[in-house]
Structure 1
Amino acid sequence: MKKLFWLLLPHLLATMMAHAQEEKDKTKLDVWLTTADGGKLLAKQPDLFFEKDSGDMKTHEIVYVDERITYQEMDGFGAAMTGTAAYVLNRYLNPARRDSVMTELFGSEGMRLSFVRQMIGASGYEIGGDYSYDDLPTGKTDTGLVHFSIRKDQADVIPMLKTARLKNSELKIFGSPCSAPGWMKNTGSMRGTGGSFLLPRYYDTYARYFVKYVQAYEKEGIPLYAVTIQNEPEFGPETYPGMIMTAREQADFIKNNIGPAFADAGISTKLIIFDHNWGLYSAGDKGFKYPLELLEDSIARKYIDGTGFHNYGGSPELQSFVHDKYPGMDIWFTEGSGGEWIGGFRESMKEFVSRVIIGSVRNWSKGVCLWNLVLDKGNMLQKSKRPEDQNCAACYGLMMIDPSGNITRMPEYYALAHASKFVASGAKRIASSSRHDSIENVAFINPDGSKVILVINNGKTDATFRIAWNGGNVVYKLRQGDVATLTWN
């Protein structure tokens, strides 16, 4: 017996070493889970490992991942630093608490937000009412822009943007106007009431207004990655600033005014058109036609870098219509707000993970930017306004913060974090597919070579599925409505 043991020992050792090497060679996946009932919130789960294909791949739904096929490069994920967001961060939190929150939102160990919107003047989420960077008494004009000033932004918005940039050096900031100064418009008001529009005689002045804005922010140490020409150009709100600008008007303004003005000033800030819904409420595919009509102008197109979209109507597939027609033009998702109208936690996660993040990115979005970064808890800063001055008192920020500094993290926070925390700036979307409809996903490869896949079970029942990659696969189960992010090297 002893002799047999010594005879078999080399074989046993070889088998053990081979098994150990096989275990060592397995690729580990890190997993984070948010459940549809909110019981688990971006919670780290036990590690998984890719196993060699068993040959029987028919037993579960399969998501194939292939980093050899790449698509758009990502700018990142984020939300808007509106006036209210900046005010709440700057005024409701003491310095230590504020630093902690900004680290959580922008820092390398936090959400790593890297794509942030800043409003050029008032948006309806300001403290102190409507304002532009060149406000004048009724009847006065300032074509020389002598009175141009970003002073109001220097109270809260600029300090908070500077702090965000300190937390994330890769932060990209883009600006969006809701309206030109009132004196440039047919109504004399920044409000969108009555379909107010920019008077053609002020097109050149307004272009120089954009130039001064970009230069003023640059002087503050805040370079602007892009500007959108007009927020929601086919909607004229009565209770906050807005301005109608047709596709033809936007094309004329770009090719004759702002495009040449930026070129003459040596400004490389990108120009983004449209900045409105996938589909405009009941207007069918009108939201799809607007950017195509604008991009048909070959002269304007020379100055345009891409198209921005919102989610208040329509579906993200419309982005691909624009991309397929003009593949050289980039696409961004530039606004989407959470709010009471969506429903509870499950419904909000579905909207923002399925439609906004997965939907828009699979349809060519380079970046995903939600609406308010933070708001005051209960929206009292909105509700305290006169009804004729209120914007959206039912909207959510990623965080809701009360005057004592207490924080509630909203569903949109977790939806966005499932992508922003793991997908780095400069990552590329890679091929990922599914045989069925329940498991929706989008996958990325980061600049360091690590892979990320974001998955939601959007079916009617719990689902067990396989992720197949590089000759191996891993089995995972998601309950109906659950969201998971899986990463591996």
Structure 2
Amino acid sequence: MKKITTTALLLATFFVFAQQKNKSQAHPFSTKGKTVAVYTTAESTNLRLSKTDNLTFSELAQPNERQICIFVNPDKTFQSFMGIGGAITDASAEVFAKLSNEKQQELLDAYYNTEKGIGYNLIRTTIHSSDFSSASYTYIDEGDTALKTFSIEHDRKYRIPLIKKAIAAAGGKMIVYATPWSPPAFMKSNKDMLKGGTLLPEYFQTWATYYTKFVKAYEKEGIPIWGISTENEPMAVQTWESCVYTAEAERDFVKNYLGPTMKKEGLGDKKIIAWDHNRDLMVQRANIVFSDPEASKYIWGMGFHWYETWAGGEPMFENVARVHEAYPNKNLMFTEGCVEKFDSKNYQLWANGERYGTSMIHDFNNGTVGWTDWNILLDENGGPNHVGNFCFAPIHADSKTGELIYTPSYYYIGHFSKFIHLEAKRVSTAVSRSSLLSTSFLNKDGKMITVVMNQSDATVIYNLCVGTQATQITILPNSIQTLVY
């Protein structure tokens, strides 16, 4: 009897396990009965996120070497998608406030509405001023070591209202995270918010508490804060707000002050992002901060920017992959990028949009979970910026005419943000020609999203291949497509 009971129990256990396994595999991705909707943005055309085709799959068991192909393997999935968005800085908020009500609504729809716009769901903002503010400021009186004068009143005029409107336009949910550019001048070695300097040891605790006061103040305003980063660009001595942290200094500040203080203040669930600087030194920073268990336990992951090209080289996408390989349990997020050196003659320069497409595809393929552009809106001068560091944004407002100017960057970003949804899984994707770049994500609703970018000056005919099924697609020169199937 005991033997029969044991056997029955084993069989029952096996049956339940098999059912669970079959349930998890009950709906593997299939192209059967599916059509491919093609959306295109192309240079020298009027196509901007325009639906250009609706295609069907047919058999293609073995392509030959002359056939250009993109291979998508739904059986191989990777990181979950967290989202795409842009920064709401003081500059963006000040420019927004000058727009007519009609144009304000247009901008909100353009970024945050999933139907009328491109469906942003991430917001980065600043902890007091950055260069993209009309002036330097903090939330306390200078010298207030007890933080008794802490107030976010400055932000209530422009920035907080815009963030609230953005959240509402997105349907009430938004991932908001915040970054400081510099501690107050009295806390620093150079006694200046600008031009680098370091945080003085006697103010480590005061500065850590400052973050918690910011988070609580914003949440009291009805703006949930998902997380913070330690410092914007901690290895750059800039002419604007900046503060230098070596890898060891950031590690120890997080380990001994910021992490414990956030936890003590009931904010232990808020994410802490390390680095928040360029791809060039990110591997070294990861090795230092993630290799210390006591620091690492507080750190959600690593943020990175794309400005390593300042030195004259190419973007170092492979460093993103190196960090992901070495620390697969840590998250990677692109936290800032923009086209530098504003020139209104280049509003429609196509290469600016292509820079976004190239970066986004490579960064996602190397393990990135979220991607955040810099300013969502700037004026016709590429500002305001209190140190003259004028840059491009995907959308500019001409303060003289009140019109909004959409650049190619807006549409390139939209080919990702409009179609890839929260918690989508990245799917294995490979191309057979270097003229094409591609990435794919499988949305939770079962829709596959494949983004294809043609870097060449020639029209390319390629096959989208999923298993032995394929469909032939034409992509115009210097263009980007999103395939939905």
TM, length-normalised to structure 2: 0.87
Aligned residue for 1:420?
Answer: 417
Aligned residue for 1:9?
Answer: none
Q: In structure 1, which of residues 440, 465, 468 is the aligned counterpart of residue 465 of structure 2?
A: 468
Matched, 1:353 2:357: yes
Q: Deviations over 1:58-95 (max 9, x none)?
A: 44121111222211111111111010101111x22222
Bigger mean CA deviation after superposition, 328-337 or 292-301: 292-301
Q: In structure 1, which of residues 288, 298, 303 is the aligned counterpart of residue 298 of structure 2?
A: 303
Query: 2:342–2:382: 8 Å Cα contact kept in structure 1?
Result: no
SS at match of 1:378: coil
Query: 2:353–2:407: 8 Å Cα contact kept in structure 1?
Result: no
Aligned residue for 2:106?
Answer: 100
Query: 2:354–2:409: 8 Å Cα contact kept in structure 1?
Result: no
Matched, 1:402 2:391: no
Distance 1:391 1:331 in 2: 31
Matched, 1:364 2:373: no
Distance 2:259 2:362 in 1: 31
State the Cα distance separating 1:259 from its structure 2 match: 0.4
Alignment of 1:199-210 (within 5 A): 199-210=200-211
Aligned residue for 1:77?
Answer: 84
Q: In structure 1, which of residues 87, 97, 105 is the aligned counterpart of residue 94 of structure 2?
A: 87
Q: In structure 2, which of residues 360, 382, 392 is the aligned counterpart of residue 379 of structure 1?
A: 382
Query: 1:207–1:257: 8 Å Cα contact kept in structure 2?
Result: yes
Distance 2:473 2:53 in 1: 11
Distance 2:266 2:414 in 1: 36
Going from structure 1 to structure 2, the CA distance change for 1:470 and 1:233 (only over 3 Å counts) comes to same
Give unmatched runs, 5+ long, in structure 1: 1-23, 280-285, 383-388
Distance 1:320 1:118 in 2: 26
SS at match of 1:245: coil
Distance 2:187 2:388 in 1: 23
Query: What value does the CA root-mean-square deviation take over the aligned residues?
Result: 1.9
Aligned residue for 1:20?
Answer: none
Q: In structure 2, which of residues 437, 444, 459 is the aligned counterpart of residue 440 of structure 1?
A: 437
Alignment of 1:42-191 (within 5 A): 42-53=49-60, 55-89=62-96, 91-109=97-115, 110-127=117-134, 129-136=135-142, 141-168=143-170, 169-191=172-194
Query: 1:398–1:409: 8 Å Cα contact kept in structure 2?
Result: yes
State the Cα distance separating 1:317 from its structure 2 match: 1.5
Distance 2:322 2:458 in 1: 32
Query: 1:170–1:425: 8 Å Cα contact kept in structure 2?
Result: no
Going from structure 1 to structure 2, the CA distance change for 1:220 and 1:189 (only over 3 Å counts) comes to same
Aligned residue for 1:254?
Answer: 254
Going from structure 1 to structure 2, the CA distance change for 1:340 and 1:347 (only over 3 Å counts) comes to farther
Q: Deviations over 1:187-240 (max 9, x none)?
A: 22111x2x41110111111111011111111111111111110000001112x2
- Report the AA paired with residue 210 of structure 2: Y
- Report the AA paired with residue 303 of structure 1: Y
State the Cα distance separating 1:472 from its structure 2 match: 1.4
- Report the AA paired with residue 78 of structure 1: G
Matched, 1:269 2:270: yes
Q: How many residue pairs are counted as aligned between the two chains?
A: 442
SS at match of 1:224: coil
SS at match of 2:273: strand
SS at match of 2:351: helix
State the Cα distance separating 1:436 from its structure 2 match: 2.6
Query: 1:438–1:460: 8 Å Cα contact kept in structure 2?
Result: no
Distance 1:332 1:480 in 2: 30
SS at match of 2:146: coil
Going from structure 1 to structure 2, the CA distance change for 1:414 and 1:462 (only over 3 Å counts) comes to same
Distance 1:59 1:172 in 2: 45
Distance 1:380 1:203 in 2: 32
Distance 1:38 1:380 in 2: 29
Distance 2:327 2:61 in 1: 43
Give unmatched runs, 5+ long, in structure 2: 1-30, 309-314
Distance 1:333 1:256 in 2: 26
Alignment of 1:442-457 (within 5 A): 442-457=439-454
